[in-house]
Amino acid sequence: MRVNHYVMVFCLIFGILANIYVIVKLNIGTNLFEYLQKIQMSNIQRDTVPKCEIDADHLLNFIENRHFLELEEKEQRKIPKNHEKTLQTMLFAFPTAGLGNKLFEIISLLGIADTLQRTPVINATNSDYINVLSKSIQPIFPKLVEEFDLKIIPSFKYFHHIRPKIRELLAPSKLTAVRAEILLPTKYRNDFIICTHIRRGDFQYDGVHQPSDATFTRSATDFLVDYYKKSRRRVTVVVLGNDIHFAKAVFEAPSSTFGWWLSYLSKRKSQAYYRDITESKDGVLREMREDDFYPPEWIKLKTDQKTGKIRKIR
């Protein structure tokens, strides 16, 4: 009797497990069939109806990244690049030389640094440099001190390629510009102006330079006045110099760097003239190359040895 009881229990349990197995298999088969049907319908819809799907997250990331890239590009255009390498030198003209020689040192370094893609530097630990910058250059050319320097034989070739920038850097302060403007009386401001610069003073005694020569400067001025009177209604001569008693003899010491800068910074359409330095027997003649000192568009004036008249030489 006990054996029959165990057999019956076993058959009952086996039957229950068999039913569970059949039910599970049926459910799996039904779900798999429905899943396959959905895939088939999805393929049919994709093949027949074009669909445009946008990934919102990727789109927002793209727009945001592009926005920041544009801002970065704008900032790069605004902010000048800082070069890693620098360029500096001794400033030999700063202690005692005139403003013209100081400008040659600073502007030459600026032009060379621009060519070499370096940052021009002035040694701030040298008190002489700082005194000259703050007292002699900053008040007249406030923009120039923001840039920078180098002791080089004066030549326009170091910086001629950045001449527009130089004109901007050497623009005088508003107060200086107003003071300069009122020096010329109003009745002459519409005239054709010939600006001539004479240099006497220290050039008479330094044993190197030759001061402005009275005979040549007067003859050269008369020559230019006669030349421009043919095409201009009124011509006025403005004399700039450091010897008021010599002012009637109007022209310029040929190696004067101060006079050189007056010509270089003149109006864009103005014409610069200079004396043939070989006539003056200037002591710096053997130290300078004429084609390095005078830009090619400037016109040389020379005295005819036979007639004594002034003539132009290209």
pLDDT for position 46: 53
| Residue among 277, 288, 222 at smallest CA distance from 249 | 222
Residues 6+ apart with CB under 8 A from 218: 248, 249, 250, 251
- The CA distance from 220 to 314, in Å, is 16
Predicted pLDDT of residue 251: 45
Q: pTM of the entire structure?
A: 0.43
Report pLDDT for 149: 41
Per-residue model confidence (pLDDT) at position 152: 39
| 311 neighbors 304 (Cβ within 8 angstroms) | yes
pLDDT score at 246 = 66
Give 263-287 pLDDT, tens digit per residue.
Answer: 788 877 788 888 787 776 665 666 6
Amino acid identity of residue 46, one-letter, is R
Q: CB of 129 within 8 A of CB of 122?
A: yes
Query: What pLDDT does residue 204 have?
Result: 47
Could you tell me the maximum CA-CA distance found in the chain, to the nearest angstrom? 161
What confidence score (pLDDT) does residue 261 get? Answer: 82
The partner residues of 237 in beta bridges, in order of sequence, read 194
C-alpha count within 13 angstroms, C-beta hemisphere, residue 17: 6
pLDDT at 208: 45
Q: Which two tokens stand for residue 66?
A: 């592009």
How many whole angstroms from its chain centre is CA 67? 28
Question: Which single residue is written with the structure tokens 């623009």?
Answer: 171
Say what the pLDDT of residue 284 is.
61
Secondary structure letter of residue 266 according to DSSP: S
Helices 99-116 and 257-264: crossing angle, nearest 10°?
60
Distances (CA, A) of 63 to 54, 56, 73, 76: 13, 11, 15, 20
Listed as ranges, residues in the chain with pLDDT below 50 are 26, 49, 52, 54, 79, 149-153, 203-209, 211, 249-253
Percent of the chain scoring above 90 in pLDDT: 1
SS (H, E, C) 103-168: HHHHHHHHHHHHHHCCEECCCCCCHHHHHHHHHHHCCCCCCHHHCCCCCCCCCHHHCHHHHHHHHH
For residues 283 and 207, is the Cβ–Cβ distance under 8 A? Answer: yes
Write down the pLDDT at residue 92: 82
Tokens linked to 13: 């349990």
pLDDT at position 199 is 67
**What are the CA-CA distances from residue 283 to residues 58, 204, 210, 253, 288 (Å)?**
76, 12, 7, 12, 10
| Amino acid 209: pLDDT | 47
